[in-house]
Structure 1
């Protein structure tokens, strides 16, 4: 029997704590939820990708924004769409649950798409088009900018509230780490395939048929994604929110400070294990790492008074051992997480600058077809989607046969670091060649001039970065989901989104710093030195990889389930 069939069979007849029989019906969760969740992911990703991937071109052509400024705005927007998933995850974990956050966010995304369509069809919502070059272009009014930013905010919040909340909801439908890993691989595969379609078909419609129709297609895709999610809602296993886990972590910090002068005992008999009248057995002794935090769980006089609701009366002075260990887990993970910020920063810089390169290169495929500049990043998406399939079907089984164990998430992330550095070096070499052609044809000082060099040269470095993403993005999601405390599972999958968001903001800051300190990034990139920017990213990537290796070597896994699952896989 196949693994998916066995999982579905077990989901039908085996009740457990999270998936018990409800009202006489079969257990919720399992692979029956897969088509509804992936249908939702595909529809919402088509809607989001249609405007994000072509935002730079839309700002330049329809709102008369200068090229580098448009790239900066795009990076900020990409950062927002990556930070909002973290906020959505906190809301889902703490108060509303995944389903409610996904439904509300989907409606906000659709509202943003409707308003995008209005800006493309109502002339008063955007400045008049340029007539005789950049010198006579009229900048948008304050009202037009305000409307644009409100629309972007709505669409970004809607996109962010669904992206990784859907991933957590999907993973919650399965009990075994192996099934969760399979789901994450398919989740990213569908995410990238949908992004490919939106970055080609929808962007082509926007550039060649009309922006209004292109945004209208996004409205339809958004509606289909929301409908698919609602159709499957009766099958989903629902994990009830347990209140804000960050409040619990804050209590540990406050309790530790208040008991900073209390002696920490090496024994476990003076520590507090109960919570809401329930004792978890066996009671583990607090770990010795970050031992000063153990003070938060030390029993002192008056700490264990019980309040009227049956819980501890002084939660800001006495915490459970479980609360303390949850905070320690986050502290241990933080160095590895921080290393990934500088992995995302070069990706953000490469994405925005590559679109500017494409606008100044020959994008024709034959005499009648021209690749939209906003679609050039599709090479990364295609590379990632193909690589995800190859990794899941061939590389991982081959690795397991050779080493008798599955590749760990940290090994996948490390390989992603290496490929990312190689991709940045490839972008530097391509830009060096482009600048040589610029100088040989005397195109410097001519804004808008097209360099007689095929934009397909940009394909190779983008493809290399895409292969790296196929390794490090799923690896990071699996690592955080396995290692984070149970109360922070949704937040765990959104951690990758948070670091991507910070990475995009860092990329904006790096570009701004380079513009201020050097002359590498003028408004006309034919007069600049983008190759030096990419070489700078190579140096940063090498240093960051060394930092990552150090953190990975020092990290000790907390997830027993992961070890057991890896061991059973190697034994099989």
Structure 2
């Protein structure tokens, strides 16, 4: 369904592929996949990281409202990849989803560029000396938000589907782990370029030129990706895997009173297929689900009904249940990025940003410190820290180790942000900044860098760790969905941060439109405390979890304990 090239089964391993399919895939495809990722990431970093500033300056949106709008857009961008992953796994395949989504993204950025280029599509400039600015019309807002929505949908359909198609090119988990590391390095390095070069052009040269540059790099990325079509190993969609999961639920309910046997032949195995190792008996964890695979009579195996599932289907469903607590623990951890990245922009706008007589640090470029920290630390972790870990412990670090360290660094970043904000607010009050509109706090903007570096370090640990964990531990028919799960976690994190910040605005005075009148440091400290409690929850979930994959070292077995 992807078109072009031999298609292979979604659960086919390298040793079972036909010769023509074996010649496809591998590291030869990486330049084309990286090209698509680079083009998409530079484009989205260019228009999205400066969106708050663009809305404040050109559409006269209030500062906190602009950050809330950005968080909602970012949340939707993170949740929608799950829809793209389902389409890729079930119907269209990764290749088709990527090129269609890229076209949608390009169309959206074109609309945003038009709002910057054509005067009738944006609000009139503020009058000099006036306390109020003209409000954009409903049509102007409609065009802007339509462009943002299309661009968000487009990037949502590409980024994590690119991760899935890239991992599909390799047969063993080691190559997949290396790919995910380089995927993350490429992703963050590309976003650094967008957040520096393009954001600088938008603020200091021309918004119009900056946005059309985003369009150009997105088009180039799409062309590079399409040019590698004949080299990709295309995975044939097998229909909706969620239908199989629903099958397990229905069969369990219908046969809940059927007695369970201790004999392997009393369970249905026909659909297990060429898995790593067929399961003779269902595992003891979540034992009530074993009813779905229990055969009441020998004739049951000859009937394709919703009353009977294979043992493998049941085990796939159990794997999802086991990993859900770990998934949930990642949501609060990931609130660090939306909270720090958006509120730091508001802090930056109040500080001394001068790097010279004619140059200022663009507020939208502050996220570059997070992205650079992540990209550099990913390389250091992969090349130095983990080999040292393996040499000292004689074992490779597992994904949960990486995620746990990510929790610690994200929490620390929030705490440091609270301390820095306390200093900024004290200086603002000492120098009576509120009594002199337009003046800046006498504090250099680079004071904000340490908190951003810590958050970037946390991202370098937990982001690849989560992607690897989900990709390896999810059932094989859900591989694209697994690669997109990190985006779902991030999406819920953006919605959670937006909800919490909105609640803080309603019940406290910590976040007024002018943060010099508020207590932003208390907001950072509150999130740090929440994340500390969440870290203990993660430790409990991690202790109870047993890896399902062979690479994790703990294959499900008959004697698996109930704590899994």
**Shared fold by TM > 0.5?**
yes
Question: Are positions 1:73 and 2:66 aligned together?
Answer: no
User: Residue 480 of structure 1 contacts residue 492 of structure 1 at CA under 8 Å; is this kept in 2?
Assistant: yes
Q: Cα offset for 1:268?
A: 2.2
Alignment equivalent of 2:304, drawn from 308, 313, 330: 313
* Mapped partners of 1:103, 1:376: distance in 2: 31
Going from structure 1 to structure 2, the CA distance change for 1:198 and 1:134 (only over 3 Å counts) comes to farther
Q: Cα offset for 1:305?
A: 6.9
Aligned to 2:6: none
Alignment equivalent of 1:84, drawn from 71, 80, 83: 80
* Mapped partners of 1:263, 1:135: distance in 2: 76
Q: Cα offset for 1:18?
A: 6.2
Alignment equivalent of 1:250, drawn from 242, 246, 250: 246
Deviations 1:152-210 (A, max 9, x none): 11101100001011011111111121111111111100100100000000001100111
Question: Are positions 1:21 and 2:19 aligned together?
Answer: yes
Aligned to 1:54: 50
User: Residue 14 of structure 2 contacts residue 171 of structure 2 at CA under 8 Å; is this kept in 1?
Assistant: no
Q: Cα offset for 1:515?
A: 0.3
Alignment equivalent of 1:435, drawn from 413, 425, 436: 425
Going from structure 1 to structure 2, the CA distance change for 1:147 and 1:158 (only over 3 Å counts) comes to same
Query: Could you say what the CA RMSD is over the residues aligned between the two structures, in angstroms?
Result: 2.0
Question: Are positions 1:409 and 2:399 aligned together?
Answer: yes
Aligned to 1:490: 480
Deviations 1:289-323 (A, max 9, x none): 000011111123597375xxxxx431x22111111
Aligned to 1:9: none
Going from structure 1 to structure 2, the CA distance change for 1:528 and 1:132 (only over 3 Å counts) comes to farther
Going from structure 1 to structure 2, the CA distance change for 1:79 and 1:279 (only over 3 Å counts) comes to closer
Deviations 1:17-71 (A, max 9, x none): 564333xx97101111011111111111111111110010011011110000000
Q: Cα offset for 1:256?
A: 1.0
Aligned residues: 543
Q: Cα offset for 1:522?
A: 0.3
Alignment equivalent of 1:177, drawn from 165, 173, 184: 173
Q: Cα offset for 1:269?
A: 2.2
Structure 1 unaligned residues grouped into runs of 5+: 1-14, 307-311, 566-572
3-state SS of the aligned residue for 1:475?
Answer: helix
After superposition, where does 1:453-492 map in structure 2 within 5 Å? 453-492=443-482
Question: Are positions 1:530 and 2:528 aligned together?
Answer: no
Q: Cα offset for 1:282?
A: 4.6
After superposition, where does 1:276-425 map in structure 2 within 5 Å? 282-300=278-296, 304=300, 306=302, 312-314=303-305, 316-425=306-415
User: Residue 272 of structure 2 contacts residue 278 of structure 2 at CA under 8 Å; is this kept in 1?
Assistant: no
* Mapped partners of 1:329, 1:46: distance in 2: 36
Q: Cα offset for 1:267?
A: 2.6
The TM-score normalised by the length of structure 2 is: 0.93
Q: Cα offset for 1:471?
A: 0.4
* Mapped partners of 2:18, 2:225: distance in 1: 22
3-state SS of the aligned residue for 1:561?
Answer: coil
* Mapped partners of 1:53, 1:255: distance in 2: 48
Going from structure 1 to structure 2, the CA distance change for 1:439 and 1:293 (only over 3 Å counts) comes to same
User: Residue 273 of structure 1 contacts residue 279 of structure 1 at CA under 8 Å; is this kept in 2?
Assistant: no
Going from structure 1 to structure 2, the CA distance change for 1:441 and 1:490 (only over 3 Å counts) comes to same
3-state SS of the aligned residue for 2:127?
Answer: coil
